[in-house]
A and B are shown apart, each in its own frame.
Chain A
Amino acid sequence: MGALAAVALLALIAYEVVRQASPAIDQFGLGFLRDDVWDPIKGSYGALTFIGGTVISSFLAVLIATPLAVAIALFLTELSPRRLAGPIATLVELLAAIPSVVLGLWGILVLGPWLAEHPEPWLHDHLGFIPLFAGDPSQAGMLSAVLILTIMIVPIVASLCRELFTRVPRDLQHASLALGSTRWEMVRGVILPYAGPGIAAAVLLGLGRAFGEAIAVTQVIGSGNAVHLAIFEPADTLASKIASTYQGAASDLEVQAILYLAAALLVISLVTNLAAQLVVARFERSRKVGQ
């Protein structure tokens, strides 16, 4: 039956990627994940740089995207005139429809140069004592990647949150307003607590998306080979490292190391997505009982 095929497919993907990577897993062991050297010439490989890059870029992006997305969702459900809400929601969703390669193109040719010219030197001069802003401004780097990822995550999280907010029972909201709350107090006291777990799940889904984004990040992040917090400088993520070796690797060993990276990425995103789905499932069950 077709359904079995879907289950089998997921299992097969996991099995096949791990099997392909197994020579590297055997050779490097788990130490691979703690080693920050990637040197094809010496044949020594470690994933820490890329894991670090993935975690830093994705978390920063989620950090920026979450408040924005929640604010957009609140605007759409609570503030906007109903006639405006539909079209604006559609526009926000269209942002998610832009292919990542095009967003990356814009990132490398428009956003990156602009960042290097304007905000980065200013931040570097004035706030350079903060490690984040310590690096030299450059056209390709972590900051561009973070902003591009933010642009990709915001519409996803915003449309999920909007759906959540419309499901908050009207009578609870009206009761809060009737007790004299301002609209913001109603949002803080009723909507956010009610939708909280759902928002957490939406953020996890956005995070999963950011972890896995390869193309746009490859285009804008430059190619760095050190873990650092300096967001102006080039870096690399698991996904972007994999993508940038598509034209061929130096040796079989490098291919296997790349597959090891893919296996690590797969595990990270499976865990993130599974967590999100479980939060959603629990959330829906508790809300059903509550009603």
Chain B
Amino acid sequence: MEPVTDDPGHALLTGSSANLRRRRRTERLLAGVAVAAALLAVGVLALVISSVAIKGASALSLDFFTQARPLFGGVGGIADALVGTVLIVGVATLIALPVGVLVAIYLSEFASPRVAFGLRLVLDVLNGVPAIVVGIFVFGLIVTGHGQSGLAGSFALAILMLPMIARATQEILRLVPPGLREASLALGASRWRTVVSVVLPSTVGGILTGTVLAVARVAGETAPLLFTSSIAANAISTDVTHALPSLPVAIFTFSESADPADHAMAWAAGLVLVAFVLVTSMAAKSLSARARRSIQPD
């Protein structure tokens, strides 16, 4: 709908076309600012991704994915960090997923409104705890005394994932039509039975996409791993009871180095990480739209 100001009669009525011109100018100026801001954001994204892609692509090769990092210079890959990241994030997901889903079920199916409000607040605040503080927490809780380990890193990442998974699950549980629950309860099923066999099956897709999004977010987290699983040998290892190398920590140490060869490695590893994170989060977003539609066909 066009504003009335485009009508010349309006200027006649108010009798001040200078005023009208000024208003139009402001209108155009601010529209221009808004467009420029949007272009700027998209431009920065393009700039960052293209520099990572251009500078990272040249170092990519098969060896880059299959070899461990060299001990003293020389050529090598990041296979050790890839394996470590997959393990750390995998274990973190195994911890966070069941707890997160349970919290969400309690939140949306059992809690009274007052308790639910408090619990949501706690989850949101937990979501806002800086990752580096979570790392320090796990450092104090597990690492002092037991030393760094992949498990400690997983635990730190799981703390970050928990509120994300719980909130995503709770949002999707809210979309389940109440009629479905009531039908099940009316047939004499207990509340748990209703949750397990009626509510949860219809939300599996939504829970999965929420989890994938959380994985994409924490796979790139460096801060929680610095104090929990950073001082590791550059060798491929699957022993989670010892410190494991990881992709983000590798990029961090490469980027802090003064050696240009390390910078090349950092760009290449960054490209791998960015590609993984962007592809998974885009896939999860498009899946989540589908999951929502399958629950609430409109």
Residues of A within 8 A of B (CB): 1-3, 5-7, 9-10, 12-13, 16-17, 19-20, 67-69, 71-72, 74-76, 78-80, 88, 90-95, 97-106, 108-110, 151, 154-155, 158, 174, 177-187, 205, 208-209, 211-215, 219, 239, 242-243, 246-247, 258-259, 262, 265-266, 269-270, 272-274, 276-277, 281
Contacts and interface: CB of A to CB of B under 8 A. Distances in A.
> Quick one: which of A74, A98, A185 has the most chain B CB within 10 A?
A98
Nearest to B216: A97
18 contacts: A12-B141, A17-B136, A19-B140, A72-B37, A75-B35, A95-B44, A99-B248, A101-B248, A104-B252, A108-B255, A109-B263, A182-B24, A183-B27, A212-B133, A214-B223, A215-B248, A265-B130, A273-B127
> Quick one: which of B100, B126, B216 has the most chain A CB within 10 A?
B126
Contacts of B126: 6, 9-10, 13
A68 to B, nearest CB: 5
Interface stretch (B62-70, B173-181, B185-193, B225-233): B225-233
Given A13-B137, A78-B34, 10 more contacts: A17-B137, A69-B37, A92-B41, A101-B220, A182-B24, A183-B27, A185-B27, A239-B132, A262-B132, A270-B125
B244 to A, nearest CB: 15
B124 A16 contact: no
Interface stretch (B71-79, B101-109, B196-204, B290-298): B101-109
Contacts of B132: 212, 214-215, 239, 242-243, 262, 265
Contacts of A12: 137, 141
Interface in B88-133: 98-103, 105-107, 111, 117, 119, 121-133
List 10 A-B pairs, minimum CB-CB distance, nearest first.
A99-B220, A212-B130, A2-B102, A273-B128, A71-B37, A214-B132, A75-B34, A246-B226, A20-B140, A3-B106
B154 interface: no
A138 B270 CA distance: 24
Contact of A214 (B1, B121, B130, B159): B130
B133 A277 contact: no
A2 B129 contact: no
Tell me what chain A mostly uses at the interface: helix, strand, loop, or mixed: helix
A105 B266 contact: yes
A97 B34 contact: no
A183 B125 contact: no
Given A98-B277, A100-B222, A243-B223, A76 B99 contact: no
Contacts of A211: 130
Interface in B242-298: 248, 251-252, 255-256, 263, 266-267, 270, 273-274, 277-278, 281-282, 285
Given A75-B38, A105-B255, A16 B128 contact: no
Given A9-B162, A91-B42, A98-B277, A177 B37 contact: no
B144 to A, nearest CB: 8
Nearest to A76: B38
Contacts of A109: 255, 263, 266-267
A36 B162 CA distance: 37
B255 A104 contact: yes
A100 B255 CA distance: 12
A269 B130 contact: yes
Contact of A88 (B26, B38, B122, B263): B38
B9 to A, nearest CB: 11
Contacts of A212: 128-133
Contact of B103 (A6, A68, A214): A6
